[in-house]
Amino acid sequence: MMALLKEKFAGIDAGFGIDLVRLDAARVGKRSAVQSGFAEPESAPLRHPAALIDRLANRLANHLGGNAITVLEPRGSHIPERSEARLPALEALAESSARVAYAPPWPYPKGAARPAFVLVRPELIEVIAGVPDGPPARFIWRRVERRVARAEGPERIAAEWWRSLYLDDDQKRPRPRDYYKIEDHEGAMYWVFRHGLYGSEEENAPPSWFLHGLFA
């Protein structure tokens, strides 16, 4: 507790002195003690992130607000922008402590590669492909043309069909995505996808292309 409180002491105007200090805990939870040491075996369990989150929130609350520190929580969707939600870290840890001991959900089991930086919303790009349903040969993103040197994919993510159950006839139906990991001639790597399929009888409009992320 002193590690958290001592950072606030400098900002307290004590006036003629303090006779009594009272600490109220609005919400509490169990915390398992972990023996610290100079070296830990590789199989040591992940440390509880509460101590780090408490310290960061304590330092940044006055400048950025109490919700400046966030954590990612997985969601039940394969669509990348719907697969996780960003929650205030203090609230997420308090809720998880009330249910069960907190266990970080990351890293996920090894699977398809995902970029280090994912755009909040995929950005439309202009694409020239060697064949209609093949990877891009060139594309224009943010007014800059980039020539593709290598491409890997596609990784198909099917549309969430249940989202179309209550759509009107004039509303757009969900479309599948074909994701490609591509590299341009300058070595930059991108995560792009084709939204829709060529030759599909269910789609009236041709497929469109989007850039969704950047690899480190």
Q: pTM of the prediction?
A: 0.65
Count: domains in the chain = 2
Provide the token pair at 13: 């105007």
Same domain, 124 and 206: yes
pLDDT at 188: 95
Same domain, 141 and 198: yes
Residue 177 inside a domain? The answer is: yes
Q: Which candidate, 203, 198, 154, 200, places its Cα nearest to that of 174?
A: 203
Q: How confident is the model at residue 42 (pLDDT cuts 50, 70, 90)?
A: low
Question: What's the CA gap between 127 and 112, in Å, rounded?
Answer: 23
Provide the token pair at 27: 């919400």
Q: Is the peptide bond before 107 cis (omega within 30 degrees of 0)?
A: yes
Q: Is the pLDDT of residue 38 over 60?
A: no
Q: How confident is the model at residue 203 (pLDDT cuts 50, 70, 90)?
A: low
Instruction: Note down the domain range covering 104.
Output: 48-110
Handedness of CA 132, 136, 138, 143 (dihedral sign): positive
Provide the token pair at 171: 């509303």
Question: What's the CA gap between 205 and 215, in Å, rounded?
Answer: 30
